[in-house]
C-alpha cells in the first residue's frame, strides 16, 4: 500500500483525472432501477424505525421500551440525515426526475436545506481543504493542523469539540451564519439577522416538533417523549460528528494554501479531493449508517453519484491510486477517530510540525473545462441568497462536470 503520495506533473495529474472520469461515466451509464430501489428501501426503513420508536416512547412503560424506542428513533434520524438527506440534497438522484428524490429535500435537522446546500455543496466541495476558503476546516474554531495559526482560544478546543459533537446539528445549522465574520468586519449584525431567517424558521420548527408537539400528543408520557427525542438527537449528533470528522481530519489528510490551486486542472482537483479525504472500513450496514460517507474519498471525487455505488467504485479508485503512486487513506473507525482526537488535543497547544509542500512540475498549461460547483445540487439557488467566496477565473478551482445523463432504464415512481 502506498503510504505517501508522489508529486505528479500536470500531464500525469490530468491522466489520473481521465481515468477517474472514465470510471465515473461507467457508473453513470449503469444507473437504473436498482439505485432507485435502494434509496426507497432506506426511506422505508427510516420511516418504519421512526414509527416504531415514537410508538414505544408514547405508549411504552419502563426503561426497556424507552431505550429501545429512543434507539429506533435515533436510527431513523441517522438514516434521514446521512443516507437519505445528505445524498438527496447533493442531487445524487436528480436524474430520476422524481420530485421526491430531488435535491430540494428537506431533512430532519436544525440546519436549513438551502443553507447547507450553499455551505456544503458549493463552498466545501469546491474549496475542499483550502485554508481560508473551505470553512469546514475545523468548522472555523478548531485547529486540526499545524498549518492553521494558533490562538489562545484553541487551548479549550478538546472541550469545544466535545460540545460540538453533542450538538452537531446546531453547529452545522449555524455554520452558514458566518458569525466569525462580524468580529472581523466582513459582515454586520444587520446582515446576520437577514441571513439567520431560514435558520430561525427551521430551528424553531425542529424544537417545536421534538419538544412540544410530540410530547403534547403523549399526554402523561410527555416528559418521557421529550427525553427520548433528546436522546435520539444526541445519538444522531455524536454519530454524524464521528463519521464526518473521520472522513476529513484524521492523520494523513492534508490542507492546501490558495496559491497551490491557481490554474488547477480537473486532474489536480481530483488529486486535492483524494489528499483531503479518508475512508472508514466496515460492512454493508455500517456503510449505510454512515450514508456511505465511510467512503469519503469516493464522495469527494464523485459527489453527484449515488453514494451506494461507492463500495463498488472503491477498489477501482484504489487501484488507480496505486498505479499513480497516490496514497489511499483508509482504516478502521477506532484508528481514524483516535487520530482525530489526538490531533484535536495535540493542536490545542502552540506549535506543530508543518508538512512540506509537495514539489510539482507543470508539464502543460491546459485548463480543464470549468463548471460551477453549484451544480452539485439539483436545487436552484439565486445569487441573492448566496454569498460565495469571491474568486477569479485564474483562482477558482476546477470542478468536474456534475450533470448525470439520464439512464435508459425506466424509473418506477411508486413508493
Q: What is the chain's pLDDT, residue by residue, as a tens digit (415 residues)?
A: 566 899 999 999 999 999 999 999 999 999 999 999 999 999 999 999 999 999 999 999 999 999 999 999 999 999 999 999 999 999 999 999 999 999 999 999 999 999 999 999 999 999 999 999 999 999 888 999 999 999 999 999 999 999 999 999 999 999 989 888 888 888 899 999 999 999 999 999 999 999 999 999 999 999 999 999 999 999 999 999 999 999 999 999 999 999 999 999 999 999 999 999 999 999 999 999 999 999 999 999 999 999 999 999 999 999 999 999 999 999 999 999 999 999 999 999 998 766 655 544 433 333 333 333 333 333 333 333 333 333 333 334 445 544 333 343 434 333 3
Q: Work out the number of other CB atoms within 10 angstroms of the CB of residue 243.
A: 23
Assess if residue 361 is contained within a domain: no
Q: How many domains does the chain contain in total?
A: 1
**What is the structure's pLDDT at 290?**
98
Assess if residue 364 is contained within a domain: no
Quick one: how far is CA 117 from the chain centroid?
10
Assess if residue 189 is contained within a domain: yes
Q: Which among 202, 40, 38, 188 has a CA at the least distance from the CA of 115?
A: 202
Assess if residue 279 is contained within a domain: yes
- Would you state the cell numbers that stand for residue 332, as one nine-digit string? 478502521
Assess if residue 411 is contained within a domain: no
Assess if residue 184 is contained within a domain: yes
Q: What is the distance in angstroms between the CA of the first residue and the CA of the last residue of the chain?
A: 44
Assess if residue 396 is contained within a domain: no
Give the DSSP H/E element, type plus range, for residue 150.
none
- Would you state the cell numbers that stand for residue 391, as one nine-digit string? 474568486
**What is the structure's pLDDT at 266?**
96
Residue span of the structural domain in which 290 resides: 10-355+373-381
**What is the structure's pLDDT at 183?**
81
Assess if residue 393 is contained within a domain: no
CB of 111 closer than 8 Å to CB of 173: yes
Quick one: how far is CA 412 from the chain centroid?
28
**What is the structure's pLDDT at 4?**
83
| Dist CA 252 CA 327 (whole Å) | 9
Amino acid at each position: 500500500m502506498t503510504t505517501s503520495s508522489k508529486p505528479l506533473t500536470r500531464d500525469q495529474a490530468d491522466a489520473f483525472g481521465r481515468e477517474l472520469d472514465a470510471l465515473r461515466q461507467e457508473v453513470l451509464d449503469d444507473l437504473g432501477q436498482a439505485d432507485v430501489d435502494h434509496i426507497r428501501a432506506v426511506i422505508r426503513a427510516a420511516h418504519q424505525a421512526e414509527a416504531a420508536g415514537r410508538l414505544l416512547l408514547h405508549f411504552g412503560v419502563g426503561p426497556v421500551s424507552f431505550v429501545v424506542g429512543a434507539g429506533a428513533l435515533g436510527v431513523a434520524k441517522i438514516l434521514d440525515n446521512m443516507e437519505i438527506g445528505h445524498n438527496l440534497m447533493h442531487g445524487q438522484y436528480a436524474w430520476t426526475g422524481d420530485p421526491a428524490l430531488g435535491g430540494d429535500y428537506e431533512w430532519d435537522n436544525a440546519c436549513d436545506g438551502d443553507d447547507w446546500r450553499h455551505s456544503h455543496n458549493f463552498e466545501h466541495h469546491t474549496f475542499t481543504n483550502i485554508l481560508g476558503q473551505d470553512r469546514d476546516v475545523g468548522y472555523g474554531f478548531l485547529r486540526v493542523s499545524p498549518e492553521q495559526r494558533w490562538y489562545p482560544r484553541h487551548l479549550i478546543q478538546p472541550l469545544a469539540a466535545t460540545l460540538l459533537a453533542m450538538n452537531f446539528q446546531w453547529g452545522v445549522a449555524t455554520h452558514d451564519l458566518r458569525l466569525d465574520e462580524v468580529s472581523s468586519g466582513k459582515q454586520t449584525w444587520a446582515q446576520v439577522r437577514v441571513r439567520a431567517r431560514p435558520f430561525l424558521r427551521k430551528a424553531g420548527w425542529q424544537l417545536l416538533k421534538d419538544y412540544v408537539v410530540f410530547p403534547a400528543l403523549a399526554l402523561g408520557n410527555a416528559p418521557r417523549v421529550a427525553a427520548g427525542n433528546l436522546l435520539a438527537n444526541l445519538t444522531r449528533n455524536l454519530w454524524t460528528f464521528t463519521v464526518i470528522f473521520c472522513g476529513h481530519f484524521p492523520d494523513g489528510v492534508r490542507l492546501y494554501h490558495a496559491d497551490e490551486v491557481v490554474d488547477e486542472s480537473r486532474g489536480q482537483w481530483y488529486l486535492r479531493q483524494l489528499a483531503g479525504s479518508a475512508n472508514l472500513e466496515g460492512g454493508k450496514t455500517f456503510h449505510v449508517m454512515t450514508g456511505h460517507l465511510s467512503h469519503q474519498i469516493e464522495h469527494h471525487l464523485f459527489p453527484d453519484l449515488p453514494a451506494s455505488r461507492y463500495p463498488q467504485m472503491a477498489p477501482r479508485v484504489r487501484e488507480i491510486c496505486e498505479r499513480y503512486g497516490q496514497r489511499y487513506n483508509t482504516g478502521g473507525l477506532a484508528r481514524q477517530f483516535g487520530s482525530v482526537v489526538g490531533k484535536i488535543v495535540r493542536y490545542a497547544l502552540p506549535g506543530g510540525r508543518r508538512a512540506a509542500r509537495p514539489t510539482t512540475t507543470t508539464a502543460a498549461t491546459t485548463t480543464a473545462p470549468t463548471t460551477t460547483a453549484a451544480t452539485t445540487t439539483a436545487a436552484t439557488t439565486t445569487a441573492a441568497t448566496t454569498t460565495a467566496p469571491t474568486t477569479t477565473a485564474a483562482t477558482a478551482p476546477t470542478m468536474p462536470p456534475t450533470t448525470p445523463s439520464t439512464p435508459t432504464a425506466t424509473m418506477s415512481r411508486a413508493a
